[in-house]
Amino acid sequence: MGAMRPTVLLFDIDGTLVTTGGAGRRAMNLAFQKLHGRPDACDSFSMSGMTDRAIVRKALDTIGVHPSPEAISAVIDSYLQFLAEEVPRVDDRDYRLHPGMREAVETALSRKGFAVGLGTGNVREGARIKLERVRIHDRFSFGGFGCDHEDRVELIRHGARGGAALLGVPLEECRVVVIGDTPKDVAAAKGIGATCIGVGTGSFTPEALIASGAEYAFPDFTAREALAALLDGR
């Protein structure tokens, strides 16, 4: 067997790394209530796998407000203020890092030739707020975020480029692995030619993630084969 290729890992946040007990949705509803008097703006669609800015764009359109860049940014700014208030209020039983994830991140960080980052629809500040609660934010030194691009494929590409730069090699020489819990994560990985590892800790089963194109999928990262898939591609 040849030497392992330099590897960039991009972890999704909501449903993959953590469950936030609904803090994000509540914060978004509060932002729409404050700015537009419509706490129900997001009720007609699923936020699962969407970027923050795409969520706001769709919600504004739903309530008949033109989704200008300024209008989207205003909602995001308000959302972040409410998120910082909502996250500490969630009970520890409802706000948690998913099983096996801390071990997976720490093990990858200990390996030479691995860059461990985020690939998330959260804007950068939202990611920080959510991950600091479970004391893992400082383990990710780069990423692709919802503020880098509204399209998930492009934010994943941005994160992959950041990981390759950290490793000091061209992206084309890297093995890129996206870890996520929705078909949108799988599609984003496929969009840049990356491998996807699905986890059934969100709204989709491992079987559904395999059916959508993930190379691997597990109930969670305590599954015996999960760490091997992450680190060795098997």
DSSP state letters, 192-220: TT-EEEEETTSSS-HHHHHHTT-SEEESS
| 43 & 143 share domain | no
The CA–CA distances, whole Å, from 170 to 2, 120, 140, 207 equal: 19, 22, 20, 34
Identify the domain containing residue 77 by its residue range: 23-89
| 55 & 119 share domain | no
Q: What is the largest CA-CA distance in the chain?
A: 61
| 11 & 125 share domain | yes
| 115 & 222 share domain | yes
- Average pLDDT score over residue span 4-10: 94
| 138 & 178 share domain | yes
| 129 & 224 share domain | yes
DSSP state of 4: P
Domain end marker among 49, 70, 89: 89
| 70 & 108 share domain | no
What confidence tier does 217 reach under pLDDT thresholds 50, 70, 90? very high
Question: Taking each helix axis from N to C terminus, what angle separates 124-132 and 69-86, rounded to the nearest 10 degrees?
Answer: 10
| Predicted pLDDT of residue 234 | 56
Q: How far apart, in whole angstroms, are the C-alpha atoms of residue 86 and residue 77?
A: 14
- Average pLDDT score over residue span 58-73: 97
| 192 & 205 share domain | yes
| 69 & 131 share domain | no
Alpha helix segments (H runs only) across 87-150: 101-109, 124-132
Domain end marker among 68, 89, 110: 89
- Average pLDDT score over residue span 181-203: 97
CB within 8 A of 112, min separation 6: which ones?
A: none
Is pLDDT of 171 > 90? yes
pTM of structure: 0.95
Question: Is the residue at 2 inside a domain?
Answer: no
| Predicted pLDDT of residue 177 | 98
| Predicted pLDDT of residue 2 | 46
